[in-house]
Structure 1
Amino acid sequence: MRKVMWIVALAVLAWCGWWWVASAGLRSGVQTWFDARQADGWQAELRDVESGGFPFGLQAGLRDIALADPQAGLAIETQALDITAPAWWPGDVAVTLDDGPILIASPLGRSTLTMADGVMALNLHPGTALELEALGWTAGPWQFSDPEGVQMQADDLTLTMEQVEGAQYGLVATAGTFTPGTATRRGLRLPDNFPRAFDSLQLRADVTFDQPWDRRALDQRRPQPRVVDLHLVEAIWGDMKFNLSADLTVDAQGVPTGTVAIQAENWREMLDMSETAGLLPTQLRGQAEGVLQALAGASGNENTLDVELSVRDGAIRLGFIPLAPAPRLILR
């Protein structure tokens, strides 16, 4: 019996020692990351890191955080951020966001993001490469606002990136009851009787990169997309319905080749909104409407687009007719 008690006591001491080392490593890792960002020319301020989680978890509570990347012109401020991980494998990390306002500054202006139960989860494979297994962001009700008012809000949010095999990852993005805010509706000049919320807003895709996402994505270069299988981009708002799918290969210069299928009902209302919002210059409205009207006529219904476009030689084409330059798919 005494021998068993000694074994248990030694196991407890060993576990306590491991927890202390792992907890100190997490705390040190956070501080090292902030120091590295400062060395890169960022503003990276942190008032305190609080440790916790004993005995089975690791926790680092970050307080009064300010980050700013001068090259991207992006800055974020939040009062709290909690990082937790199981003590037996710190590579499965959950980051709980502050329920209070998160301040965001960008070249587009200052904004505020507020969300309930916002959690970012990161799962890494064991090993020195720290290869990404899954990355997710989920939240309850959230809203995004700026000095003009609420721009958008939704009942929930799901963003996931999950490894399928090797460098192939499945991407999913959904927002339940996505609702443009009063400021957005005012900017789009929507009538009061126009539906307030989207019936559906989602994206599903599989993307194969030139290498898996791992620690090199931070230390060296971002993995670049080489095959994009876009199963669905869907947006349904009132009488407007938009669906897009694509099957593309991407070369080393980011130039895509493949096909894009588009379905759009009541596309003229979409043009009206794009023009009102400033996304479509007024001088190009007639040209864009003429092209889309020709495409709709080819599908047999002038109010509905249902076409398959080809992407090759750096251009988006309908048959042999070039419609627009193809975007380059490069992750900076």
Structure 2
Amino acid sequence: MRRLIVLVIAAALLWSGYWVVGARALRGGIETWFEARQSEGWVAEYSDHALRGFPNRFDNTFSDLSLADPATGLAWQAPFFQLFALSYRPTHIIAVWPNSQLIATPLAKFDIDSTRMRASLRVAPRGSLAVERAVFESESVAIRTREDGGELTLEQLNFAMERAAGFERRYRFGVDGTGVSPSTPMRKLIDPQGRLPEALGTLKADTIIEFDAPWDRFSIERARPQPVLIDLKLAEATWGDLQLAAAGSLTIDARGIPTGRITVKARNWPEIIQLARQSGILPEAMVNLTERALGTLAQMAGNPKTLDIPLDFKGGLIRLGPLPIGHAPLIRLR
């Protein structure tokens, strides 16, 4: 019995020592990271960093956190931010955001409110801490643009990311949003007569993306990985009677110019044409020609209300058959 008690006490002392050493190393690593960002010209500061959780967890709470990257113009401010990890599994991290935060870009500032926002992150145990899996969940999210007062709201937004087996830089992404209500300025642009319901019924995406570098700690410290391949398995959205789905693949060059084909399936497409006309997106002079051309394609497919539109991306343009219909977007992450 005495020997058992001695073993239990020794084990407790060893575990306590492990926690203390681990906590000191973690605090030192965090302080070094912030100092390194400041030396690069970042705004990287907090008013307090509490590290608790003895003996089984490392619970980090940052107060009045501010981060701003001068190279991209991106900034984030939060009254607090929390990172939790089990002391015996430090590569599995839980992140918790506050109910209110601010994100600033070179184009606009966004106030973000939510009732719940958290993520689970699993990283590789060694080296650059490459992301192996991440799951993000949020509820009752409101995103307000300070410049025009527009507010985008979501009942729920879930996001998942997982590194593909056997690949270092390829990831599978899933997005699922419900109760997505566009901002008033966006709604007036798309639906000036108010014919659509307030919220989208469905917003989902399933895609595989390969980048030029893995997502790891250097993704924040140095530069964001840039996509070189997008394999869109399915993206779909419903808004009232309007239904859109898309699938296809694109390769992206070093300038961010995509090449490939995305096929868009549109149900009740005549209604989409009318919305485009009313909003001014489609010039009045092009309405009849567009309706006749798309109507012919729909009849050839056998369903006059459903349209499959193959969009070819080549040379910086988007083409419908031989006809260029617009410039392809540059696909670059800041």
Name the amino acid aligned to 2:130: E
Structure 2 counterpart of 1:129, which letter?
Answer: S
SS in 2 for 1:198: coil
Q: Does 1:131 find its partner at 2:130?
A: yes
Cα pair distance change 1:286/1:273, threshold 3 Å:
closer
Match of 1:202 among 177, 201, 204: 204
Question: CA separation of 1:287/1:329 partners in 2, compared to 1, >3 Å: closer, same or farther?
Answer: farther
Distance apart, 1:47 and its partner CA: 0.3
Q: Does residue 241 of the first structure (1) align with residue 210 of the second (2)?
A: no
How far off is 1:118 after superposition? 0.5
- Whether 2:95 is the aligned partner of 1:90: answer no
Instruction: Deviation per CA, 1:143-162: give whole Å up to 9, x if none.
Output: 11235545111211112211
What letter matches 2:180 in structure 1?
A: F
**Correspondence for 1:116:** 115
Kindly provide the amino acid, as one letter, of the partner of residue 276 in structure 2: L
2:298–2:305: 8 Å Cα contact kept in structure 1? Answer: no
Q: Distance in 1 between matches of 2:277 and 2:49?
A: 50
- Are 1:267 and 2:272 an aligned pair? yes
Q: Quick one: distance in 2 between partners of 1:78 and 1:96?
A: 11
Query: In 2, Cα distance between the equivalents of 1:192 and 1:256?
Result: 34
Matched, 1:22 2:22: yes
Residue 105 of structure 1 corresponds to which residue in structure 2?
Answer: 104
Percent pairwise identity: 31
Greater alpha carbon shift after TM alignment, 151-160 vs 247-256: 247-256
Count of residues in correspondence between the two structures: 324
Q: Distance in 2 between matches of 1:316 and 1:85?
A: 46
Per-residue CA distance 1:186-206 (angstroms, 9 max, x = gap): 565645663111111121101
- 1:219 CA drift (Å): 4.8
Question: Structure 1 residue 10 and structure 2 residue 15: aligned?
Answer: no
Tell me, in whole angstroms, the C-alpha distance in 2 between the residues paired with 1:197 and 1:308: 28
Letter in 1 for 2:124: H
- 2:149 and 2:256 mapped to 1: Cα distance? 37
Deviation at 1:286, TM superposition (A): 4.7
Label 1:142 to 1:325 Cα distance change in 2 as closer, same or farther (>3 A). closer
Segments of structure 2 that go 5 or more residues without pairing to the other structure are: none
Query: C-alpha separation between the residues in 2 aligned to 1:60 and 1:168?
Result: 30
Q: Residues 262 and 307 of structure 1 are in contact (CA less than 8 Å); yes or no, is this contact kept in structure 2?
A: yes
Query: Which consecutive aligned stretches of 4+ in structure 1 deviate over 6 angstroms post-superposition?
Result: none
Q: Is the 8 A contact 2:189 2:279 kept in 1?
A: no
Structure 1: gaps of 5 or more residues: none
Q: What CA deviation, in whole Å up to 9, does each residue of 1:45-98 have, x standing for no partner?
A: 210001111221111110011222333333322111111111112221111011
Match of 1:180 among 173, 182, 194: 182
User: TM-score under structure 2 normalisation?
Assistant: 0.84
Whether the 8 Å CA contact 2:65–2:78 is kept in 1: the answer is yes
Q: Which moved more, 1:151-160 or 1:127-136?
A: 127-136
- Tell me, in whole angstroms, the C-alpha distance in 2 between the residues paired with 1:98 and 1:222: 24
SS at match of 2:175: strand
CA RMSD of aligned residues (A): 2.8
Aligned-pair distance for 1:244? Answer: 1.4
Distance 2:241 2:163 in 1: 36
Residue of structure 1 in register with 2:44 after alignment: 44
CA distance in 1 between counterparts of 2:224 and 2:102 reads 26
Cα contact 1:171–1:205 (8 A) shared by 2: yes
